[in-house]
Amino acid sequence: MIEIRVQEADFDMSAEMLALSRDDFAAGALASFVGLVRSEGEVLAMTLEHYPGMTEKALAEIAEEAKRRWPIRRVCIVHRIGRLLPGERIVFVGVTAGHRHDAFAACEFLMDYLKTRAPFWKKEYTRAGERWVEARLSDDEAASRWRLDG
Amino acid sequence: MVIKVLYFASLREAIGMPMEIVPLPSGVTTVGALLALLAERHPELLTTKNLRCAVNQTMATKETGIADGDEVAFFPPVTGG
Protein backbone atom coordinates (compact mmCIF):
# COMPACT_ATOMS: atom_id res chain seq x y z
CA MET A 1 0.00 0.00 0.00
CA ILE A 2 1.33 3.37 -1.05
CA GLU A 3 -0.24 6.64 0.00
CA ILE A 4 0.90 9.94 -1.54
CA ARG A 5 -0.54 13.34 -0.61
CA VAL A 6 0.47 16.88 -1.58
CA GLN A 7 -1.41 19.45 0.47
CA GLU A 8 -1.37 22.93 1.97
CA ALA A 9 -2.81 21.75 5.26
CA ASP A 10 -0.66 20.53 8.14
CA PHE A 11 -0.66 16.80 8.96
CA ASP A 12 -0.94 14.92 12.22
CA MET A 13 2.22 12.83 12.66
CA SER A 14 0.57 10.56 15.17
CA ALA A 15 -2.47 9.92 12.94
CA GLU A 16 -0.23 9.14 9.97
CA MET A 17 1.77 6.60 11.97
CA LEU A 18 -1.34 4.99 13.42
CA ALA A 19 -2.82 4.61 9.92
CA LEU A 20 0.42 3.03 8.66
CA SER A 21 0.42 0.34 11.31
CA ARG A 22 -3.32 -0.29 11.64
CA ASP A 23 -4.46 -3.90 11.16
CA ASP A 24 -1.17 -5.13 9.75
CA PHE A 25 0.22 -7.61 12.25
CA ALA A 26 3.05 -8.75 9.95
CA ALA A 27 4.67 -5.32 10.27
CA GLY A 28 7.17 -5.40 13.11
CA ALA A 29 8.72 -2.00 12.39
CA LEU A 30 7.62 1.50 11.51
CA ALA A 31 10.27 4.10 10.60
CA SER A 32 9.36 7.70 9.92
CA PHE A 33 10.94 11.04 9.09
CA VAL A 34 9.49 14.53 9.47
CA GLY A 35 11.13 17.53 7.81
CA LEU A 36 10.67 20.95 9.46
CA VAL A 37 11.14 24.55 8.34
CA ARG A 38 14.54 25.46 9.79
CA SER A 39 15.46 28.99 10.78
CA GLU A 40 18.40 30.15 12.81
CA GLY A 41 16.67 33.52 13.14
CA GLU A 42 17.07 34.83 9.64
CA VAL A 43 14.28 33.00 7.79
CA LEU A 44 10.88 34.47 8.60
CA ALA A 45 8.79 32.29 6.28
CA MET A 46 9.03 29.96 3.32
CA THR A 47 6.88 29.13 0.33
CA LEU A 48 6.91 25.80 -1.47
CA GLU A 49 6.06 25.66 -5.16
CA HIS A 50 5.52 22.39 -7.02
CA TYR A 51 4.63 20.93 -10.41
CA PRO A 52 1.05 19.66 -10.03
CA GLY A 53 0.64 16.28 -11.65
CA MET A 54 4.32 15.49 -11.94
CA THR A 55 4.83 15.80 -8.19
CA GLU A 56 2.38 13.03 -7.35
CA LYS A 57 3.75 10.87 -10.17
CA ALA A 58 7.39 11.36 -9.07
CA LEU A 59 6.59 10.56 -5.43
CA ALA A 60 4.67 7.41 -6.42
CA GLU A 61 7.61 6.28 -8.57
CA ILE A 62 10.04 6.84 -5.69
CA ALA A 63 7.79 4.79 -3.38
CA GLU A 64 7.52 2.00 -5.98
CA GLU A 65 11.30 1.96 -6.29
CA ALA A 66 11.64 1.56 -2.51
CA LYS A 67 9.19 -1.36 -2.63
CA ARG A 68 11.30 -3.04 -5.31
CA ARG A 69 14.46 -2.67 -3.25
CA TRP A 70 13.30 -3.65 0.24
CA PRO A 71 10.63 -6.03 1.57
CA ILE A 72 8.56 -3.18 2.98
CA ARG A 73 4.81 -3.24 3.52
CA ARG A 74 3.33 0.26 3.54
CA VAL A 75 4.63 3.68 2.49
CA CYS A 76 3.09 7.05 3.21
CA ILE A 77 4.48 10.36 1.89
CA VAL A 78 2.79 13.66 2.75
CA HIS A 79 4.39 16.84 1.39
CA ARG A 80 3.09 20.33 2.10
CA ILE A 81 3.04 23.25 -0.33
CA GLY A 82 2.28 26.95 0.07
CA ARG A 83 3.42 29.28 2.85
CA LEU A 84 5.11 27.78 5.92
CA LEU A 85 6.61 29.32 9.06
CA PRO A 86 9.73 28.28 11.01
CA GLY A 87 9.10 25.13 13.01
CA GLU A 88 6.21 24.02 10.80
CA ARG A 89 6.18 20.54 9.30
CA ILE A 90 7.07 20.23 5.58
CA VAL A 91 7.18 16.53 4.86
CA PHE A 92 6.26 13.18 6.42
CA VAL A 93 7.68 9.88 5.22
CA GLY A 94 6.61 6.69 6.95
CA VAL A 95 7.47 3.07 6.12
CA THR A 96 6.45 -0.23 7.67
CA ALA A 97 8.31 -3.50 7.26
CA GLY A 98 8.67 -6.85 8.91
CA HIS A 99 11.97 -5.78 10.45
CA ARG A 100 13.60 -2.50 11.40
CA HIS A 101 16.62 -2.51 9.08
CA ASP A 102 14.42 -2.54 5.98
CA ALA A 103 12.16 0.18 7.41
CA PHE A 104 15.11 2.44 8.33
CA ALA A 105 16.88 1.97 4.99
CA ALA A 106 13.75 2.50 2.89
CA CYS A 107 12.82 5.61 4.85
CA GLU A 108 16.25 7.18 4.31
CA PHE A 109 16.22 6.19 0.64
CA LEU A 110 12.78 7.79 0.16
CA MET A 111 13.96 11.09 1.63
CA ASP A 112 17.22 11.12 -0.36
CA TYR A 113 15.37 10.45 -3.61
CA LEU A 114 12.57 12.89 -2.82
CA LYS A 115 15.16 15.64 -2.23
CA THR A 116 16.62 15.27 -5.71
CA ARG A 117 13.73 13.98 -7.85
CA ALA A 118 10.41 15.39 -6.65
CA PRO A 119 9.58 18.75 -8.30
CA PHE A 120 9.33 21.07 -5.29
CA TRP A 121 11.09 24.42 -4.93
CA LYS A 122 11.57 26.42 -1.74
CA LYS A 123 11.72 30.18 -1.48
CA GLU A 124 12.83 31.79 1.76
CA TYR A 125 11.70 35.17 3.06
CA THR A 126 14.15 37.10 5.23
CA ARG A 127 14.34 40.70 6.48
CA ALA A 128 16.73 41.38 3.60
CA GLY A 129 14.27 40.06 1.00
CA GLU A 130 13.33 36.82 -0.68
CA ARG A 131 15.55 34.17 -2.25
CA TRP A 132 15.15 30.80 -3.93
CA VAL A 133 16.86 28.03 -2.02
CA GLU A 134 19.74 26.58 -4.07
CA ALA A 135 20.04 22.85 -4.51
CA ARG A 136 22.85 21.30 -2.48
CA LEU A 137 25.52 19.12 -3.98
CA SER A 138 25.39 17.04 -0.80
CA ASP A 139 21.78 16.10 -1.63
CA ASP A 140 22.88 14.71 -5.00
CA GLU A 141 25.66 12.81 -3.28
CA ALA A 142 23.24 11.42 -0.72
CA ALA A 143 20.91 10.20 -3.48
CA SER A 144 23.74 8.71 -5.52
CA ARG A 145 24.67 6.42 -2.61
CA TRP A 146 21.64 4.34 -3.56
CA ARG A 147 22.58 3.82 -7.19
CA LEU A 148 22.51 0.20 -8.23
CA ASP A 149 24.92 0.54 -11.15
CA GLY A 150 27.81 1.53 -8.88
CA MET B 1 2.45 21.04 -34.35
CA VAL B 2 2.24 22.72 -30.95
CA ILE B 3 3.55 21.90 -27.50
CA LYS B 4 2.86 23.28 -24.04
CA VAL B 5 5.94 24.64 -22.26
CA LEU B 6 5.99 25.18 -18.48
CA TYR B 7 8.49 27.11 -16.33
CA PHE B 8 8.90 26.81 -12.57
CA ALA B 9 10.43 28.62 -9.59
CA SER B 10 13.29 31.07 -10.30
CA LEU B 11 13.06 30.33 -14.03
CA ARG B 12 9.34 31.17 -14.08
CA GLU B 13 10.08 34.50 -12.39
CA ALA B 14 13.01 35.32 -14.68
CA ILE B 15 11.02 34.53 -17.84
CA GLY B 16 7.92 36.23 -16.47
CA MET B 17 5.37 33.56 -17.37
CA PRO B 18 4.42 30.11 -16.07
CA MET B 19 3.32 28.61 -19.38
CA GLU B 20 3.22 29.17 -23.11
CA ILE B 21 1.95 27.33 -26.15
CA VAL B 22 4.74 27.05 -28.71
CA PRO B 23 4.23 26.18 -32.39
CA LEU B 24 7.05 23.84 -33.46
CA PRO B 25 8.81 24.28 -36.77
CA SER B 26 9.45 20.96 -38.49
CA GLY B 27 12.90 19.73 -37.54
CA VAL B 28 12.48 20.55 -33.84
CA THR B 29 12.09 17.02 -32.52
CA THR B 30 14.16 16.96 -29.34
CA VAL B 31 14.32 18.84 -26.03
CA GLY B 32 17.73 20.22 -27.04
CA ALA B 33 16.37 21.69 -30.30
CA LEU B 34 13.37 23.13 -28.45
CA LEU B 35 15.68 24.68 -25.87
CA ALA B 36 17.73 26.39 -28.60
CA LEU B 37 14.53 27.75 -30.16
CA LEU B 38 13.13 29.06 -26.85
CA ALA B 39 16.47 30.55 -25.79
CA GLU B 40 16.22 33.07 -28.63
CA ARG B 41 13.38 34.70 -26.67
CA HIS B 42 14.33 33.56 -23.16
CA PRO B 43 18.12 33.72 -22.69
CA GLU B 44 17.51 32.84 -19.00
CA LEU B 45 17.17 29.23 -20.13
CA LEU B 46 20.86 29.17 -20.99
CA THR B 47 22.06 30.94 -17.84
CA THR B 48 20.14 28.76 -15.36
CA LYS B 49 22.65 26.57 -13.57
CA ASN B 50 21.96 22.82 -13.93
CA LEU B 51 18.71 23.36 -15.85
CA ARG B 52 16.36 20.39 -15.52
CA CYS B 53 13.67 19.26 -17.93
CA ALA B 54 10.63 16.98 -17.93
CA VAL B 55 8.62 15.72 -20.89
CA ASN B 56 5.04 14.72 -20.09
CA GLN B 57 5.89 14.91 -16.38
CA THR B 58 8.84 12.51 -16.52
CA MET B 59 12.44 13.69 -16.12
CA ALA B 60 14.11 14.05 -19.50
CA THR B 61 17.40 14.99 -21.16
CA LYS B 62 18.32 17.11 -24.18
CA GLU B 63 18.16 13.98 -26.32
CA THR B 64 14.57 13.16 -25.35
CA GLY B 65 12.18 13.33 -28.30
CA ILE B 66 9.15 15.62 -28.36
CA ALA B 67 5.95 15.34 -30.38
CA ASP B 68 2.72 17.21 -31.05
CA GLY B 69 0.73 17.90 -27.89
CA ASP B 70 3.57 17.13 -25.46
CA GLU B 71 4.00 18.98 -22.18
CA VAL B 72 7.61 20.09 -21.69
CA ALA B 73 8.75 21.71 -18.42
CA PHE B 74 12.00 23.53 -17.63
CA PHE B 75 13.10 24.24 -14.06
CA PRO B 76 16.08 24.65 -11.74
CA PRO B 77 17.24 21.73 -9.55
CA VAL B 78 14.55 20.74 -7.05
CA THR B 79 14.74 21.72 -3.37
CA GLY B 80 11.83 20.01 -1.59
CA GLY B 81 11.77 17.84 1.52
DSSP output for A20-76: HHTT-TT--EEEEEEEE---SSSEEEEEEEE-TTHHHHHHHHHHHHHHHHS-EEEEE
Residue of B nearest to A133 (CA): B79
Q: How far apart are CA B81 and CA B65, in angstroms?
A: 30
Give the residue among A126, A135, A142, A140 at the shortest CA–CA distance from A38.
Answer: A126
Task: Give tens-digit pLDDT for A23-82.
Answer: 999 999 999 999 999 999 999 999 999 999 999 999 999 999 999 999 999 999 999 999
- Record: contact B54-A111, CB cut-off 8 A: no
Number of domains, chain B: 1
Residue B38: inside a domain, yes or no? yes
- Record: contact B58-A91, CB cut-off 8 A: no
Which residues of chain A lie closer than 8 angstroms to B78, CB-CB? 115-121, 135
A91 versus A150: which is more confidently predicted? A91
Residue B41: inside a domain, yes or no? yes
Residue B42: inside a domain, yes or no? yes
pTM flag (> 0.80): yes
Domain that holds residue B65: 27-49+58-69
Task: Give tens-digit pLDDT for B12-43.
Answer: 999 999 999 999 999 999 999 999 999 999 99
Residue of B nearest to A110 (CA): B81
Residue B3: inside a domain, yes or no? no
Is A54 exposed, middle or buried, given 0-12, 13-18 or 19+ CB atoms closer than 10 A? Answer: buried
Residue of A nearest to B6 (CA): A51
